[in-house]
Amino acid sequence: MAVSWKSWLANEGVKHLCLLIWLSLNVLIFWKTFLLYNQGPEYHYLHQMLGLGLCLSRASASVLNFNCSLILLPMCRTLLAYLRGSHKIPSRRTRRMLDKSRTFHITCGVTICIFSGVHVAAHLINALNFSVNYSEDFVELNAARYRHEDPRKLLFTTVPGLTGVCMVLVLFLMVTASTYAIRVSSYDIFWYTHNLFFIFYMLLVLHVSGGLLKYQTNLDTHPPGCINLNQTRFQEVLLGNLPPHFSDSSSGGFSSPEEPNQNMLVKICVEEPRFQANFPQTWLWISGPLCLYCAERLYRCIRSNKPVTIISVISHPSDVMEIRMVKENFKARPGQYIILHCPSVSALENHPFTLTMCPTKTKATFGVHLKIVGDWTERLRDLLLPPPSQDSEILPFIQSRNYPKLYIDGPFGSPFEESLNYEVSFCVAGGIGVTPFASILNTLMDDWKSYKLRRLYFIWVCRDIKSFSWFADLICTLHNKFWQENRPDYINIQLYLSQTDGIQKIIGEKYHALNSRLSVGRPRWEILLDEVAKCNRGKTVGVFCCGPSSISKTLHRLSNQNNSYGTKFEYNKESFS
């Protein structure tokens, strides 16, 4: 099926436009800096000494400054949640761009890695050229102390060299620990190494304070290529090759003898060239975003310094645990997530979890569902749940049990906040990926008439039949509610059991409504979306997915394809930033 340009522009247009603008800015910054150090008269002598390595090192440094300032902005979660929820951005298409914050963060990180490699390689060449091209005429310009000095001394005995080596090591640790394999197998390593970014920025500020690269300050009295009469050194310079401010023979107190050719101009040096270290500009790039990020982290620290009150802890099948809690003045919107921190488990480590129950006007309780995967969730389960021998699944708040202190940070925004802003939403969950939709369903239980949503397609795919029991009661209650209100078409529930040896049912007589909607096998996404398009001709359908990447990629591809009913699908995907 052919791609629909209307759907493609809705899903990809703004994203590619922003990417093009960002890419153009990187190219512009690189090219302008390259030309400055390649043709700028103030860097004439430095360029003669270092050559192409000077241009590449400074151009790549400018790109690094630009991306080191941008990479922090997508991590300002509170700011993004405010922009999304306060409707400061009225356009839904623009608000959806906030969902790409994590992708933009990764893009900037990859760019920093690439240009760090260029920067390091160029400076290795510069260190060699400083040693080989040592000049007695410009001692002040030399970073080396004598000709053929070991270039390694410049790397390990100077502030720029030593801080540069340390930054490369820190960046290597952060990048390698950010790979998918390490994040999945040992999230602790990823979390701790990623927090080395603060050391990286401190080293970056120190790195530019060394002042190894210098520019000429007295261009008026010593233009590049002038004749130094004291050393009887003559040089003829073509007028056309000089910079514009050197073309006037009467400026700067220079004299010009008569020349046989009017196209020739000779300048006389009034004094020796003077050099000065460049003013460090890195802090100008990073100070704003870094201060904003630090201020946001301070605000989050103050906001989350009071522990929550745990109401109950529920053990669900398939290694899932539910925590219900309350906190004074805590407000959240359906689809948002929070960050849990338990000092008894880890002093520094924390993890994001989507809210499955949000506080409302009538109840202050909110909750999360945790899949027990990894050391952190295992230790948290051991602290919150009794030993299996007690055979207790629900521990009420009134029961005498000492829970550890649990802190929350948030809430933060996610794309699922938009699911209630479409007239029709198509929601797909894979396994524990059902959690953001649970908060949507809980919200619809309280009040569905105040939202724009008028039809909800809910598809849930699980491998284990027991997984459906996590929210079986909620789904059945919501189904019965809409039947009683004569709105059976409001929600379309489809459950799929992807792996089974035979026909199974969700145990319990009250789950008859779900058993009748349970299918064995995997959904046929093309048929499902075609049916949705047929039933909602000419409408815009919000597609939301939280689950395996294979399902996400399939839905993303199908959302961009054309259909004969004039229906437009706008694709959204859960992605923690």
Which tens digits make up the pLDDT trace of 60-95? Answer: 999 999 999 999 999 888 888 888 765 566 677 777
Q: Quote the pLDDT of residue 25.
A: 97
The band of 231, judged by pLDDT with boundaries at 50, 70 and 90, is low
pTM equals 0.80
CA 6, CA 11: separation in Å to the nearest integer? 9
How many C-beta neighbours within 10 Å does residue 263 have?
Answer: 8
Q: What percent of the chain has pLDDT over 70?
A: 87
> Average of pLDDT values for 563-568?
86
Residue 212 has pLDDT above 90, yes or no: no
Over the Cα atoms of the chain, what is R_g? Answer: 32
Residue 14 has pLDDT above 90, yes or no: no
The band of 1, judged by pLDDT with boundaries at 50, 70 and 90, is low
User: Could you please report the per-residue DSSP string of 398-433?
Assistant: TS---PPP-EEEEEE--GGGGGGGSSEEEEEEEGGG
Tokens 């995997």, residue located: 522
What's the angle, vertex CA 87, arms to CA 84 and CA 89, rounded to 5? 75
Decide: 277 and 142 in contact? Cβ < 8 Å: no
Residue 507 has pLDDT above 60, yes or no: no
Decide: 518 and 531 in contact? Cβ < 8 Å: no
The band of 398, judged by pLDDT with boundaries at 50, 70 and 90, is very low
Decide: 229 and 206 in contact? Cβ < 8 Å: no
> Average of pLDDT values for 119-138?
86
> Average of pLDDT values for 230-252?
42
> Average of pLDDT values for 415-435?
90
Q: Which residues contact 177 (CB under 8 A, 6 or more apart)?
A: 183, 189, 190, 193, 194
The band of 400, judged by pLDDT with boundaries at 50, 70 and 90, is very low
568-573, strands of its sheet edge to edge: 518-520, 491-497, 455-462, 424-430, 540-546, 568-573
Quick one: tokens of 543?
């597609």
Residue 250 has pLDDT above 80, yes or no: no
Q: Quote the pLDDT of residue 512.
A: 76
Cis peptide before 411, with omega less than 30 degrees from 0?
Answer: yes
Tokens 């360029």, residue located: 47
Mean pLDDT of the chain: 83
Residue 237 has pLDDT above 80, yes or no: no
What's the angle, vertex CA 475, arms to CA 470 and CA 476, rounded to 5? 110
Residue 117 has pLDDT above 90, yes or no: yes
The band of 105, judged by pLDDT with boundaries at 50, 70 and 90, is very high
Highest mean predicted confidence (pLDDT) among 149-153, 504-508, 556-560: 556-560
How far is C-alpha 429 from the geometric centre of its chain's CA atoms? 23
Q: Quote the pLDDT of residue 441.
A: 92
> Average of pLDDT values for 378-383?
90
Q: Quote the pLDDT of residue 346.
A: 85
What is the longest distance spanned by two Cα atoms in the chain?
109
Helix (H/G/I), strand (E/B), else coil: 160: helix
Of the two residues 293 and 279, the one the predictor is more confident about is: 293
Of the two residues 201 and 138, the one the predictor is more confident about is: 201
The band of 235, judged by pLDDT with boundaries at 50, 70 and 90, is very low
Residue 503 has pLDDT above 60, yes or no: no
> Average of pLDDT values for 246-255?
39
Which candidate, 167, 156, 155, 143, places its Cα nearest to that of 64? 167
Q: Quote the pLDDT of residue 22.
A: 95
Q: Quote the pLDDT of residue 392.
A: 45
b/e map 347-384, b = 16+ CB within 10 Å? eebbbbbbbbbbbbeeebebbbbbbbeeebbeebbeeb
The band of 141, judged by pLDDT with boundaries at 50, 70 and 90, is confident
Among the residue ranges 14-18, 235-239, 299-303, 439-443, the one predicted with the least confidence is 235-239
CA 226, CA 267: separation in Å to the nearest integer? 5
Pairing type for strands 568-573 and 540-546 reads parallel
Question: How do residues 445-480 score in pLDDT, each as one tens digit?
Answer: 888 888 889 999 999 999 888 888 888 888 988 888
> Average of pLDDT values for 155-168?
88
Helix (H/G/I), strand (E/B), else coil: 458: strand
Q: Quote the pLDDT of residue 575.
A: 52
Tokens 């089974």, residue located: 500
Of the two residues 190 and 246, the one the predictor is more confident about is: 190
Helices (H) and strands (E) in the chain, counts: 19, 17
Residue 4 has pLDDT above 90, yes or no: no
Residue 244 has pLDDT above 80, yes or no: no
Decide: 431 and 467 in contact? Cβ < 8 Å: yes
The band of 397, judged by pLDDT with boundaries at 50, 70 and 90, is very low
> Average of pLDDT values for 331-359?
90
Q: Quote the pLDDT of residue 531.
A: 92
Among the residue ranges 105-119, 334-348, 387-401, the one predicted with the least confidence is 387-401
